Amino acid sequence: MPSRKYGPSAPAVHHTVRVLAEVGGSLAGQPHDHVAFVDLDLTETPTAGAVLDSCTFRGVRFNASAYSDSAFINCAFVRCSFFDTVFDACKFTGSKFEGCTHDLMRVAGGDWSFTGLSQANLARASFIRVRLRESDLSGARCAGATLRDSDLSGASWEGADLSGADLRGSDLSALDPLSVTLRGARIDQWQAITVAAALGLTVD
């Protein structure tokens, strides 16, 4: 099994929130630092401008919610549900995900660099024009996923399943094609040259 590049450790907790009313019924437009959010239901909750630094989310349901211009920096997500959740121009730098579900999650733009997504099931997720530099995707199940036009430079891919994934337009310079499953994946002609070079082939 691939080792995690970013471990599952959670940030220190200074306050725990179990009822959304404690923070005014919404995360929108509010800063939170070292807060643990536990077993909250944020289903269908639109949120803009939230800023969360070093927070922990355990068993939180983000289902069918839309987030825009929000920041979740160095946060830990444990057993959370992101079914049909939309993140538009959001920042998740340094955040880690463990045991979460990402079915139909859609990410457009934003910065997800240094995120820990090791072993994540992203088969039905979509990332378009996302900065994912040095993210940990080792062992990730991305069969059928969309990872288009994204910056994946320096990403860790060991053991990832990219069968049938749409990778067109993304930076695959850190991808070792011998360490992943690529059957049926969609790439463009420039990526094909990158993959061929990684295999030691000469393209004339």
Cα dihedral 85, 125, 115, 108 in deg (nearest 10): -60
Burial class (CB in 10 A: 0-12, 13-18, 19+), 160: buried
- Read off the pTM: 0.90
Identify the pLDDT of residue 9: 65
Mean pLDDT of the chain: 92
203 has pLDDT over 80: no
Could you give the angle at the alpha carbon of 78 between the alpha carbons of 173 and 151, nearest 5°?
A: 20
Contact by Cβ (8 Å): 34, 51: no
Return the ∠ at Cα 62 (arms to 77 and 41), rounded to 5°: 100
| Percentage of the chain modeled with pLDDT above 90 | 76
Q: Is 29 left (phi over 0), alpha (psi -120 to 50) or beta?
A: left
- Contact of 72 with 51, CB cutoff 8 Å: no
pLDDT at 81: 98
Give the span between the Cα atoms of 78 and 99, in whole angstroms.
6
The SS3 assignment for 189 reads helix
Q: What is the mean predicted confidence (pLDDT) over 9-30?
A: 82
Q: Tokens 């306050």 correspond to what residue? A: 15
Mean pLDDT of 121-135: 97
